Amino acid sequence: MRIDVLTLFPDMFTSPLNYSILKRAQESGLVEIVLSNIRDFAIGRYRQVDDKPYGGGPGMVMMCQPVFECYEHLLNESSQPGRTILLTPQGRPFDQNLAMELSREQRLILIAGRYEGFDERIRTGLGAEQISIGDYVLSGGELPAMVMIDAVVRLLEGALGDEDSAEDDSFREGLLEYPQYTRPEVYRGMTVPEILLSGDHARIAAWRKARSIERTKRWRPDLME
Ligand code: 9D3
């Protein structure tokens, strides 16, 4: 998979992309993440990327020209088909199903915005979908792009090492995690449930399932059908 990111702040991405699963997935060639600075395509003395909204109103709007030219440059680099996604607060809510859907693409082109939003012709002219990561206000689309990349890349075949168990994820589909414990058996007087020390795998599995259901009902009733 190739993931292109168009942003005014490419440096924001370097640290999060260079740890653990994301780092290994890039090193092994599972994913190529290409960061492009929209400002590199801006023109004129001030390399302007934003301007005042027609009709008035607060804030600034991302201009068409630098985004279109950055996008076209990337299409010339690789004509691999894929999906073009604008990160915007009014987009389709991102969730695990959407992450799974996107992980089946050959290429994703993510456009992260700043300011009050994009000139509408960026969405219509590039045929872009819009995605939001949730109903809270952030300062731009960069963190949402990183969240999406993390969720999508770890789903790519071969991205998870042995220690990161992928099978468990689908097995407990839709339920919260059961409580987990590791050594020591007693810490500051707090004990580990007896059953987990019993070695009885069938009873342990049943106990975990029951705890998962119990917690989902209590903490995330919205997830229970
Ligand atoms: C004044 C109206 N605001 C919309 C709620 C303007 C506005 C606020 C914040 C416009 C852009 C932003 C920056 N946020 C994003 O670019 C963004 C975002 C988010 O804020 N929350 C959740 N998902 C996303 S995806 C991109």
Number of domains in the chain: 2
Ligand 1, atom 11, lies closest to the CA of 116
| 112 and 147 together in one domain | yes
102: CATH: 3.40.1280.10
The answer to whether residues 208 and 98 belong to one domain is: no
Does 43 fall in a domain? yes
CA 212 to chain centre: 25
| Same domain as 207, residue 110 | no
User: Among residues 11, 27, 72, 116, which one is catalytic?
Assistant: 116
Helices (H), 80-200: 96-102, 120-126, 142-153, 167-171
Please say which residue of 120, 153, 186 terminates a domain.
Answer: 153
**Does residue 193 carry a catalytic annotation?**
no
With respect to residue 76, please indicate whether it lies within any of the assigned structural domains: yes
Mean pLDDT of the chain: 95
Q: Pseudo-torsion of CA 201, 203, 206, 207, nearest 10°?
A: -110
> For ligand 1, is residue 53 a contact (CB within 6 Å)?
no
Do 50 and 145 lie in a common domain?
yes
Q: Does any domain span residue 159?
A: no
Instruction: Give the residue numbers spanning the domain of 137.
Output: 2-153
Q: Please, which pLDDT band fits residue 137 given cuts at 50, 70 and 90?
A: very high
Domain-embedded: residue 38: yes
- Whose Cα sits closest to atom 2 in ligand 1? 116
Asked if residue 14 belongs to a domain, the reply is yes
Tell me how far the alpha carbon of residue 105 lies from the centroid of ligand 1, in angstroms. 25
11 with 79, same domain? yes
Residues 106 and 199 in one domain: no
User: Same domain for 100 and 185?
Assistant: no
Q: CA triplet 60, 62, 68: central angle to 5 degrees?
A: 165
Has 116 been annotated as catalytic? yes
Q: How far is the CA of 114 from the centre of ligand 1 (A)?
A: 8
Model pLDDT, residue 173: 74
Query: For residue 163, is pLDDT > 70?
Result: no
CATH code of residue 192: 1.10.1270.20
Judgement on whether residues 10 and 77 belong to the same structural domain of the protein: yes
Helix (H, G, I), strand (E, B) or coil at 170: helix
- 141 with 181, same domain: the answer is no
**Mean pLDDT value across residues 76-94:** 96
> Quick check: 127 and 156 in contact, CB under 8 A?
no
Q: Is 138 in the pocket of ligand 1 (CB under 6 A)?
A: yes
Residue 127 domain flag: yes
Q: For ligand 1, is residue 145 a contact (CB within 6 Å)?
A: no
Work out the pLDDT band at 161, boundaries 50, 70, 90. confident
Strand partners, 204: none
pLDDT of residue 162: 74
How far is the centre of ligand 1, averaged over its atoms, from the C-alpha of 90 (Å)? 8
Q: Are residues 147 and 211 in the same domain?
A: no
Ligand 1 atom closest to residue 91's alpha carbon, by position in its atom list? 25
Per-residue pLDDT band for 7 (boundaries 50, 70, 90) equals: very high
Whether 63 shows a pLDDT value over 90: the answer reads yes
Angle, to 10 degrees, between the axis of helix 20-27 and the axis of helix 142-153?
Answer: 70
Chain segment 185-201, per-residue pLDDT in tens: 999 999 999 999 999 99
**Looking at the structure, do residues 131 and 186 belong to the same domain, yes or no?**
no
pLDDT band at 123 (very low <50, low <70, confident <90, very high): very high
Q: Are 182 and 138 found together in one domain?
A: no
- Which residue has a Cα nearest atom 14 of ligand 1? 140
Q: Is residue 160 part of a domain?
A: no
Q: Is residue 68 part of a domain?
A: yes
